Amino acid sequence: MLSRESRRMAGLLLVILPTVVFGGVSVLTLLIHDPDYMDNALRQDLWRAGHAHAGVLLVLSLVALRYVDETNLSNRLKWFVREAIPSSAILLPMGFFLSVLSPHATDPNAFIYLAYLGAVVLVAGLLVLGIGLIRKDSPQTA
């Protein structure tokens, strides 16, 4: 049974997930109808990565919510896990999309640092969740 906090976050994530569908439809439309889109390989790669990471990390966030209530982490650390992994699902795509907004961008702008920040937040959330699950089973904490 999910805690109230996890259930609310899961609901929010499911409401946000259609934005990934919107992104997928957008890149598909660009690929098919905008010949200039394929001319900028860096932009195409980063926008594909933006769409892909948004989808995969939102699904990973939903998976994490199933586990976080099973840990015996403090409420503060459970809150951190519930916020950190979904935050990375926002930060990485923002970095990928916003760093090459211009069709003529040859280098990503400073927004790309959001992707690195997202990576740090993601790793922190995953480690806390993983350690919380392992500690739950250890004899010392049982």
d(CA 84, CA 99): 22
Asked whether position 25 contacts ligand HEM by CB under 6 A, the answer is yes
Total number of residues binding ligand HEM (CB under 6 A)? 14
Enumerate the H helices of the chain as residue ranges. 4-16, 18-33, 41-68, 75-98, 113-137
Of 88, 4, 108, residue with least CA distance to 47: 108
The contact mask relative to ligand HEM for 29-48 (x = CB under 6 A, - = no) is --x------------x---x
Q: Does 52 bind ligand HEM (CB under 6 A)?
A: yes
- Cα gap 69→62, rounded to integer Å: 12
Torsion 141-86-18-113 (CA) sign: negative
Binding ligand HEM (rule: CB under 6 A), the pick from 51, 68, 85, 128 is 51
Kindly compute the dihedral angle of the four CA atoms of residues 118, 64, 18, 23, in this order, to the nearest 10 degrees.
30
Length of the chain: 142
Closest distance between ligand HEM and the C-beta of residue 20, in Å? 4
CB of 55 to ligand HEM, least distance (A): 3
- Judged by CB under 6 A, the residue of 5, 16, 17, 119 near ligand HEM is 17
> Of 3, 16, 19, 27, which one interacts with ligand HEM (CB under 6 A)?
27
x-marked contacts with ligand HEM along 87-126 as a string, rule CB under 6 A: ----------------------------------------
Q: Does the footprint of ligand HEM cover residue 131 (CB under 6 A)?
A: no
